[in-house]
């Protein structure tokens, strides 16, 4: 049975090059890997006040993360970091305490950026969500 890889895109832009890269990875993946593209559009800003009653869209994202065998982040670099949309998704996924959807999940990260350093900073941030 194919392993499921949730492929989380860090750019919401319609013409996103990172979305294109994710789609290419999906096409080129070996038969034993099934990539599902996930664009965190509509994920709200992280707010600890509501983490005991997660918004539906956040719960759905957490369920997708939990049911995946692995995570592939495909993200541009924004201001020498990862984009805010991706950071919010990571923060929501890690909460509440002891209920992180990221726990024990193998993660890879790649991306396209137009700056001099390519995507080097974003790609090396290695989301650590426990
Ligand atoms: C707010 C913002 C900040 C950016 N900061 C960086 C940066 O620090 N380093 C870099 O290489 N590119 C930076 N860029 C350029 C992006 O890497 C480039 O626009 C990239 O194509 C965006 O990815 P996308 O095509 O998937 O939307 C920035 C772009 C934006 C909009």
Residue 107 makes CB contacts below 8 A (sequence gap 6+) with: 70, 71, 72, 73, 126, 127
pLDDT at 84: 96
pLDDT at 125: 73
Which residue has the CA at smallest separation from atom 1 of ligand 1? Answer: 78
pLDDT at 47: 97
pLDDT at 128: 53
Q: How far does the centroid of ligand 1 lie from the alpha carbon of residue 41, in Å?
A: 17
Closest of 84, 105, 83 to residue 94, by C-alpha: 105
Which residue has the CA at smallest separation from atom 11 of ligand 1? Answer: 115
Cα Rg for the chain, rounded, in angstroms? 14
pLDDT at 111: 95
pTM of the complete model beyond 0.75: yes
Residues with pLDDT less than 70, the chain = 126-130
45 is written with which tokens? 């800003």
Give the total residue count for the chain: 130
Which residue has the CA at smallest separation from atom 24 of ligand 1? Answer: 16
26 is written with which tokens? 């999906």
Count other Cβ atoms within 10 Å, centred on residue 122.
27
Strands 70-74 and 107-110: parallel
14 is written with which tokens? 């319609």
Planar angle of CA 57, 70, 51, nearest 5 degrees: 30
What is the distance between the alpha carbons of residues 88 and 93, in angstroms, rounded to a whole number? 8
């Amino acid at each position: 049975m194919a392993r499921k890889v949730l492929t989380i895109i860090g750019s919401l832009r319609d013409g996103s090059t990172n979305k294109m890269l994710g789609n290419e990875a999906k096409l080129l993946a070996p038969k034993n890997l099934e990539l599902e593209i996930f664009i965190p559009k509509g994920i709200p800003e992280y707010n600890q006040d509501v983490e005991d009653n997660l918004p539906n869209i956040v719960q759905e994202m957490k369920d997708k993360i939990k049911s995946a065998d692995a995570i592939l982040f495909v993200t541009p670099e924004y201001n020498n970091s990862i984009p805010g949309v991706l950071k919010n998704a990571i923060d929501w996924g890690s909460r509440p305490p002891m209920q992180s959807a990221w726990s024990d999940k193998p993660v890879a990260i790649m991306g396209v950026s137009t700056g001099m350093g390519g995507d080097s900073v974003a790609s090396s941030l290695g989301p650590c969500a426990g």
